[in-house]
Structure 1
């Protein structure tokens, strides 16, 4: 099988059709060039060049066909090297990112991906909507590479996370709810109300937030309806089934059917974290992670 050196020497000679010029371009002796071309002809089993002292060197019919293939092969070899170097630097690759709904509604995901794309345009990023428990499972299993989720008191072994976003809580209330008659809402006004929380599979996240809210208002939660996600929670709230504690960035959702009210005494913020595996992530994932965390530091410094 011909090696890349033989192909490169033959292509240079075919480009110049002159042994001396091709040897000068390659930085080798004419005799070395002749030896390698002869070896290539032996590999092919046919003459590639018409050699005649009285006439210029020319390609045979087989030579023209081999030249086209050799040129393409060398370009491919060059591309392989380029791809390898770019991939090693995180400039090429594929990253799968999971996110909770408020990662999108807050503009966090948009800003993170836009900044990354400006410096890594050839990295393919896939965004997948998932709740926090599912993201933790998918991250541990290698189904996603990064996760934008609600922080947890403790993460599964092998996972780590960094807080990257903070915002305040408001309460979503149906337009015709009696509480909307109040000019100002206090925590104590929420006693005896039913709350809808967007989680089914765990006792963290907004259920804990709701418990702390009740304690600060001096009441016990009268009833709690758990649903799968914020869209379901807000849909039920708009129909009058209860109230929903939501990050303020979600105020654009169902704005005609709901009012989003700040609550005096509700001082607690909610957070988003960027989670990843402690080890074994690709250069492209490492690049996106670095970009996201760098922008968090820049934002914090500006604040």
Structure 2
């Protein structure tokens, strides 16, 4: 059975809005058209995707499963279209994403020398979008910092590096040679707790996390300003902490947690020899 991608996009809109009227507005279609498309999709899949009454629309178990699987499938289709369009215009590019603090110069230069026919480009990513560009076909490969959602990705380890606590320069721990993660139990973490599971799992933790009244931070620079002006701590890879210089913050090694792992990621659906070749080059540079 083939899945109609248009119906799948309609389904995702309804699943995210949980309201047929709002989803129809978002898709620029009428609500009766949208309802017919969803019914047709349910018939094709032989599964009920929503339960509806006059007051609410909810996903069924089948609907929740489809929503989980629909994103990677739609992203893959979008990425395919981008690559085909580029090829049809005679544009031969190879685009590499990298996170702040990760030096990719050697690998990029070596790959470009081997492939003078390609326009090799680099794009800076962030913690929030480090794999999004791969899924959407904007990046051929990307240097990512774990943890990431592995679904739809091929991952190859490249290197590991220590993690450090980033603190206000006048913090009681700022002058230490090293600290343990338990020393941060009373501190407010200014990043997603899942990024620092060792801190999140401390039984004696009394500090807060990013779910409190703190603003949503878009960049490391914003987080550092908050550390400097309002307190709180970050746990970052050493190269990231060193990449951002700030006179009012300090970083201290954390000696009892594991290192951050950097991997090269690309779409698991792609089998271009250029991908494995670049991965070999990147690994050799380390």
Superposition TM-score, scaled by structure 1 size: 0.54
Deviations 1:61-118 (A, max 9, x none): xxxxxxxxxxxxxxxxxxxxxxxxxxxxxxx9311222222xxx132x2222122233
1:238 counterpart residue number:
228
2:171 counterpart residue number:
177
2:98 counterpart residue number:
99
1:114 counterpart residue number:
109
Query: In 2, Cα distance between the equivalents of 1:111 and 1:218?
Result: 44
* 1:166 to 1:181, Cα distance in 2 relative to 1, 3 A: closer
Query: In 2, Cα distance between the equivalents of 1:153 and 1:94?
Result: 25
3-state secondary structure, aligned to 1:106 = coil
User: How many pairs are equivalent?
Assistant: 192
Correspondence for 1:123 among 118, 127, 134: 118
Correspondence for 1:145 among 140, 144, 148: 140
Query: In 2, Cα distance between the equivalents of 1:211 and 1:148?
Result: 21
Matched, 1:256 2:255: no
3-state secondary structure, aligned to 1:113 = helix
Does structure 1 conserve the Cα–Cα contact (< 8 Å) formed by 2:166 and 2:250? yes
What runs of 5+ residues in structure 2 fail to find an aligned partner?
A: 1-90
Query: In 1, Cα distance between the equivalents of 2:128 and 2:175?
Result: 37
- The correspondence of residues 188-267 of structure 1 with structure 2, limited to 5 A, is 188-197=182-191, 207-215=193-201, 218-224=204-210, 225=214, 226-250=216-240, 251-265=242-256, 267=257
Query: In 1, Cα distance between the equivalents of 2:253 and 2:130?
Result: 30
* 1:94 to 1:178, Cα distance in 2 relative to 1, 3 A: same
* 1:217 to 1:163, Cα distance in 2 relative to 1, 3 A: farther
Deviations 1:18-37 (A, max 9, x none): xxxxxxxxxxxxxxxxxxxx
CA RMSD of aligned residues (A): 3.0
1:28 counterpart residue number:
none
Matched, 1:287 2:282: no
Query: In 1, Cα distance between the equivalents of 2:200 and 2:131?
Result: 28
Query: In 1, Cα distance between the equivalents of 2:283 and 2:228?
Result: 34
Deviations 1:127-147 (A, max 9, x none): 222235534333223222112
More helix by share: 1
* 1:233 to 1:179, Cα distance in 2 relative to 1, 3 A: same
Superposition TM-score, scaled by structure 2 size: 0.57
**1:276 shift after superposition:** 1.1
- The correspondence of residues 18-37 of structure 1 with structure 2, limited to 5 A, is none
* 1:194 to 1:178, Cα distance in 2 relative to 1, 3 A: same
1:278 counterpart residue number:
268
**1:179 shift after superposition:** 2.5
More strand by share: 1
